[in-house]
Chain A
Amino acid sequence: MNSEALTPTDYGEPTNVPVIEVRGVSKSFDDGRIVALDDVDFTVYPGELVALAGPSGCGKSTLLHLLAALDSPTSGRVRVLGYDSDHPHDVNGFRRCDIGLVFQLHNLLPHLTAEQNVAIAMFGTDLRVAQRRARARDLLAQVQLQGREGRKPPLLSGGERQRIAIARALANGPRLLLADEPTGSLDTAAVDHTLELFERLRRDKGLTMVMVTHDPRVAARSDRIVSMRDGRVVEA
Chain B
Amino acid sequence: MSFVHLIFHNIGARRARSFFTTVAVAFGVAVVVTLGVVTSSLRQSAAAVLQTGSADFTVAQKGMADVLNSTMGERELAEIRGYSEVASAVGALITIEKLNEDNPAFIRIGLPPSELSVFGVRVLEGHAYTARSTNELMLGFRAAQHLHKKVGDRMVVGDDPYTVVGIYSTGNEIGDSASMFPLVHLQASMRLTGNVTLTFVRVRSGTDVEAFRKRLETENPQLTTVRFTTEFGRVDRNLQLISAADRGAAFISWIIGSVIVMNTMLLSFFERTREFGLLRAVGWSRFRVMVLVISEALIISVGGASMGVGLSYFGTTFLQRLPQLRGLLEPEYSAGIFWRALYLAGGMALCGAIYPSLRAAFLVPLKALRRE
Contacts and interface: CB of A to CB of B under 8 A. Distances in A.
Interface of A: 65, 68, 70-71, 92-97, 101, 103, 105, 107, 109, 111-112, 115-116, 119-121, 123-124, 129, 132-133, 168, 171-172
A120 B282 contact: yes
Given A111-B9, A119-B1, A124-B288, 7 more contacts: A92-B283, A95-B282, A103-B369, A107-B369, A120-B279, A124-B283, A124-B284
Contacts of B274: 107
Given A109-B278, A111-B9, A93 B366 contact: no
Interface in B261-308: 274-275, 278-285, 288
B282 A121 contact: yes
A103 B9 CA distance: 25
Given A65-B366, A107-B274, A92 B285 contact: yes
B282 A132 contact: no
Contacts of B285: 92, 124
Given A121-B283, A124-B288, A107 B278 contact: yes
B365 interface: yes
A112 B274 CA distance: 14
B283 A95 contact: yes
Nearest to A97: B283
Nearest to B372: A105
A70 B288 contact: no
B2 interface: yes
A116 B3 CA distance: 11
Given A111-B13, A129-B1, A133-B1, A70 B282 contact: no
A109 B275 contact: yes
Contacts of A168: 282
Q: For the complex, would chain B's binding face be called helix, strand, loop or mixed by DSSP majority?
A: helix
Contacts of B2: 129
8 contacts: A92-B283, A95-B283, A116-B1, A116-B6, A116-B9, A120-B1, A123-B3, A129-B2
Contacts of A171: 282
Given A107-B278, A112-B9, A70 B283 contact: no
A25 to B, nearest CB: 16
B289 to A, nearest CB: 10
Interface of B: 1-3, 6, 9, 13, 274-275, 278-285, 288, 365-366, 369
B149 to A, nearest CB: 68
Contacts of B366: 65, 70-71
Contacts of B283: 92-97, 121, 124, 172
B55 to A, nearest CB: 61
Contacts of B288: 123-124
A56 B367 CA distance: 20
Contacts of A112: 1, 9
A116 B279 CA distance: 13
A120 B6 CA distance: 9
Contacts of A92: 283-285
The 10 lowest CB-CB distance pairs between A and B, nearest first, are: A96-B283, A95-B283, A121-B282, A92-B285, A129-B2, A111-B13, A116-B1, A92-B283, A107-B278, A70-B366
Nearest to B365: A70
A101 B282 contact: yes
Given A96-B283, A101-B282, A132 B369 contact: no
Contacts of B6: 116, 120
B1 A132 contact: yes
Contacts of B284: 92, 96, 123-124
Contacts of A71: 366
Nearest to A169: B282
A132 B1 CA distance: 8
Nearest to B366: A70
A112 B9 CA distance: 9
Nearest to B13: A111
B285 to A, nearest CB: 5
A96 B6 CA distance: 18
Contacts of B13: 111
Contacts of A68: 281
Contacts of B369: 103, 105, 107
A204 B278 CA distance: 29
A168 B2 CA distance: 16
A103 B369 CA distance: 10
Contacts of A121: 282-283
A109 B369 CA distance: 12
B66 to A, nearest CB: 59
Nearest to B2: A129
